[in-house]
Structure 1
Amino acid sequence: MRRSETEDGERTAEARGDAERAGAGRAWVRGSHGPHGPRRPRALMTVAMCLCVTLVVGMVSAVNLAIPDLSAGTLHPSAEAVVWVVDGYVVVFACLLVPAGALADRRGRKGTLLCGMGVFAAGSVVCAAAPGVGALIAGRMISGVGAAAVLPTTLALLVEGLPDGPRRKAIAIWASMTGLAAVLGNVGGGAAIEYGTWRTLFWAVVPPALGALLLAAAVTPVTARHPRPAAPLGSALLTGGFLALLYGIVSGPQAGWGSPAVLGALAVAAVLLAAWARHGLRAAEPLLDPRLFARPGVRAGAVGMAALFTGMFGLFYLNGQYLQYAKGYGPLGAGVRLLPMAAALLAGPRCGLLLERVCGRRGTVVVGMFVLAGGLGTVSAADARTPYALYALGAGLTALGCGIATPLLSHAMMAALPADRAGTGSGLQSLARELGSALGIAVTGTITTAVFTARLPASLSGPGRPTTVAAAEARTPDGRVRAAVVDAFTDGLHMATLGLAAGVVLAALLIARWIPKETVTRDGGKGR
């Protein structure tokens, strides 16, 4: 009896502390005055968080514009190495998101954010000075560690202490920036490469990263820490399991699905993830409780965002290569021609709000996913002779669909979790997004390379055949052969985008069954 009374007292005290912290957060949002003077405007913190998000997400797409320059440079990477240059960052980013979000909840969100930005900048320096492909991939992974600490923490800081209405608006802004950053990364990356090399891209990101760190240090408040254990075993099992899984997925097509390395990686992934689930079910304070996935909002949000970003970032992997190889634009010209995607991403949430009034949340999410799949289907028809306007339409529809569905899926997941798990919740949804991004890049790169190498002209086929467009073009001065090389690449683009579109449609059918319907409450508002 005494133990029960003590536990009840502890829970009551914790609930009282949470209420006090929430009240303090609401007061800070209103711009009230505290004992140390006026609170900093929330708008400045929103700017700082958006700048951090833009940098860490933008570097995924910015590197895609560097693929032609990198492939033709002195490092001479293979197609598999190019995928890992892009995906090495995303894989580490994805695998450490949930541990980083949980660490921020337990050890302080502001400190975690600042450390993450510092590590991200350091990794960019390693990439810029890399003497070989291995060092370049290592630098990308270091940056991925920092990015994992940044992304979930920014959302948790933005929603701290907000009531439902402003909370939804903050989530929508954050979700829009994560998509918009990918397009802005194309323009910034294209400009850096146009007037320099791929190394210039990494040097150029260091000053704004340090600037974002200083701004965040100045305007971000110190939030309460939640006194829970850091769950190192759960973190290790989850991270190791996903690393092994993604290694198997990325390496399978090149090494062979039946190779010992791939089979071993998939077996290790299965064992580690099963051990993580068992540990989470038994632990008093798990890193990520597997029972959360029994909640329809969490399950729908995770699967839906993974599918959306598989399609989005699969297309991002192809955009720069298509516009440079097939259409002949320079890096900056290619980046500028992707700006319609930014406009579509900005319009997406507004269109989603209008559609929600007519179709409801479930219908709007499904419509958004179908629009994205339709955009990928439109892109699949592109070749070297396709007008840019048609390609821009397909890319714009892809971005519009992502913009429509992402905020609603994000809110469904965050609303299904308790307030004191904001960091873990945002880490979970970021995990779904980045795993989708990593999978999209890996699958797209694999399919495109397989079709490309299979359809190369006879003079370039056989043992030792090139695996990148740049390597193939370097081997022949014949204009007709070079045109055939580009056609082989666009054949790969066709197969990859059709596969991505089919995957998004299948996911949309699952989401239609899982996502909770909204109900009308007595006061006329909407509930879950």
Structure 2
Amino acid sequence: MKPPTPSAPPDSPRPAPSPLKRSTLFTLCACVLVAQGMVAAINLLVPQLSSSGLHPSSSELLWTVDAYVIVFAGLLIPAGALGDRYGRKGALLTGLGLFAAGATVSALAVSPAMLIAGRGVSGAGAALIMPATMSILMRVAPQEDRPRAVASWTLAAGLGGLVGNLGGGLVGQYLSWRALFWVVMPLAALLAVAVARTTPRTDKTVGDRAPSLDPLGTLLLTGGLLALLFGIIESPMHGWTSTRILAAFALGAALVALFVAHALRSRAPLFDPRVFATPRLRAATLGTAASFFGLFSLFYVNSQYLQYEKGYGAARAGLAIIPLTIGMVFVPKLAARWSGPPRVIAGGGLLLIGLGLLGASTANGSTPYAVYACWLLVISAGTGLCMPTLTLSVVGSLPPHQAGLGSGLSTSAREVGAALGVAVTGTTLASHTSGGFAGGMAAALRIVALVVIAAAALVALGYGTTRKK
């Protein structure tokens, strides 16, 4: 009897993938846009929530906004590893299910605690969605299509914040806050159907190359990130030197240090911290965090500036940030044709973001909107220039079978940078009350701009130290 022919292992070389289908790319980018949009959408509903029948306290309002971000960012890295090990399409569909379930709980909330819990469940869903989408793209797109795919993914992530601002503004002005969550449920269901029909399954990574879930490492890293994010987000309310905030930072630092020590000794860690020995990865992670540090600082002051200083309504304020989309849409296409060195593209983009923030810091109530919009265009061009390169550098620094983990690292850097941007800006605004909102906005954006410009120099130097293979 002829013995059966052994099947090829899942990680054996495969035939070259066919060109990436537009329907697949569009569906995955739509998932990214919706998940990222819910970070910003709730901000414009805070005034309506504060006067709603739930009667939330100021602390409960803060947690309504932050529960999504904290759970989202804290679970990204283990969620990416989970998808790489057990199936990326399954992780994406599970994430959409959790996202919708959390929105349902939020829409039906009869207490602040129930609303906060729903936001946290949606954040867990988003943590599965983001790395799974990037990992699928990196697995199904041919090598020549990957820059375009990554540029589209980063565009969707960037536009998510803008769409969230616009959607939150429209809901805040014309509808009940519950409408935001009711809309999410059928939208998530439509996305799940689209994923099922358009997105291929990718091979699971098995054997020695499979990412380890590493329960102890996952617990230590997730706990450390949650503690650090808690300290960052709560610092404007309690003060950076308060006992609560210092304790959160100390706990976070201790847990992250324990994770590093555990991962260096473990035979199968969640991920090897020695990957950060690569200058390119360090530079790209710093650049990603710095870009979102600047963007979310701008998002934080933008709606307040347009409403308090310019007298815009919530819907008009949401529409007024549309110039930020222009550079994000068109500049990546131009950058893809430009074969400049990554250090110039990444560093130059961050420099433009910093210069745009410096320009926006000069705005006050008498500044024409057209002038303010020009500074938004500069920031938008910088974002569109650097983000695809930074994202591809982080994901490309890890093996293809760990693309979900790489996406988790990249998105974690985004969310930590965003949380820091909001915290630093909020603290600066609170300490400049004597100069009015315009004075506080000017001080905050100048500080943030200088940080982004300094990061641009460090990123350019980091890329410059990478040796050519």
Shared fold (TM-score greater than 0.5)?
Answer: yes
Cα deviation 1:67-98 (Å, max 9, x = unaligned): 34334545565666544433321221111111
* Aligned ranges 1:501-512 → 2 under 5 Å: 501-512=449-460
Determine which structure has more spread, i.e. the larger CA radius of gyration.
1
Which of the residues 121, 132, 136 maps onto 1:142? 121
Superposed displacement of residue 144, structure 1: 0.8
Which amino acid is 2:219 matched to?
A
Cα deviation 1:387-418 (Å, max 9, x = unaligned): 11122222222222111101111122222221
Could you tell me which residue of structure 2 aligns to residue 494 of structure 1?
A: 442
Distance (Å, rounded) in 2 between the aligned partners of 1:499 and 1:327: 23
Distance (Å, rounded) in 1 between the aligned partners of 2:278 and 2:230: 29
SS at match of 2:249: helix
SS at match of 2:11: helix
Cα deviation 1:248-299 (Å, max 9, x = unaligned): 2222343244433223222211211011001111122211210000012211
Asked whether the 8 Å contact 1:99–1:287 carries over to 2, the reply is yes
With the length of structure 1 as denominator, give the TM-score of the two structures: 0.81
Distance (Å, rounded) in 1 between the aligned partners of 2:270 and 2:449: 33
Which amino acid is 2:43 matched to?
N
Could you tell me which residue of structure 1 aligns to residue 257 of structure 2?
A: 274
Distance (Å, rounded) in 2 between the aligned partners of 1:307 and 1:15: 43
Number of aligned residues: 460
Superposed displacement of residue 323, structure 1: 1.8
Which of the residues 229, 232, 239 maps onto 2:215? 232
Whether 1:160 and 2:153 are equivalent positions in the alignment is no
Distance (Å, rounded) in 2 between the aligned partners of 1:353 and 1:83: 40
Distance (Å, rounded) in 2 between the aligned partners of 1:106 and 1:273: 23
Distance (Å, rounded) in 1 between the aligned partners of 2:82 and 2:392: 22
Could you tell me which residue of structure 1 aligns to residue 380 of structure 2?
A: 399
Asked whether the 8 Å contact 2:327–2:380 carries over to 1, the reply is yes
Could you tell me which residue of structure 1 aligns to residue 288 of structure 2?
A: 305
Distance (Å, rounded) in 2 between the aligned partners of 1:47 and 1:272: 38
* Aligned ranges 1:130-209 → 2 under 5 Å: 130-209=109-188
Structure 1 unaligned spans of 5+ = 1-12, 31-40, 456-486, 520-526
Which amino acid is 2:326 matched to?
A
Could you tell me which residue of structure 2 aligns to residue 295 of structure 1?
A: 278
Distance (Å, rounded) in 1 between the aligned partners of 2:252 and 2:135: 29
* Bigger shift: residues 43-52 or 195-204: 195-204
Which amino acid is 1:18 matched to?
D
Superposed displacement of residue 383, structure 1: 2.1
* Bigger shift: residues 301-310 or 73-82: 73-82
Asked whether the 8 Å contact 1:83–1:441 carries over to 2, the reply is no
Distance (Å, rounded) in 1 between the aligned partners of 2:445 and 2:57: 22
Distance (Å, rounded) in 1 between the aligned partners of 2:366 and 2:107: 36
Which amino acid is 2:370 matched to?
A
Could you tell me which residue of structure 1 aligns to residue 3 of structure 2?
A: none
Could you tell me which residue of structure 2 aligns to residue 220 of structure 1?
A: 199
Distance (Å, rounded) in 1 between the aligned partners of 2:127 and 2:177: 23
Could you tell me which residue of structure 2 aligns to residue 62 of structure 1?
A: 41
CA 1:321–1:201 in 2, change beyond 3 Å: closer, same or farther? farther
CA 1:371–1:346 in 2, change beyond 3 Å: closer, same or farther? same
Asked whether the 8 Å contact 1:93–1:148 carries over to 2, the reply is yes
* Aligned ranges 1:463-482 → 2 under 5 Å: none
Superposed displacement of residue 119, structure 1: 0.9
Cα deviation 1:399-457 (Å, max 9, x = unaligned): 221111011111222222211111111111111111112222222223223434xx3xx
Distance (Å, rounded) in 1 between the aligned partners of 2:98 and 2:162: 23
**Alignment identity in percent?**
42
Which amino acid is 1:371 matched to?
L
CA 1:206–1:445 in 2, change beyond 3 Å: closer, same or farther? farther
TM-align CA RMSD? 2.4
Superposed displacement of residue 130, structure 1: 2.9
Superposed displacement of residue 161, structure 1: 4.2
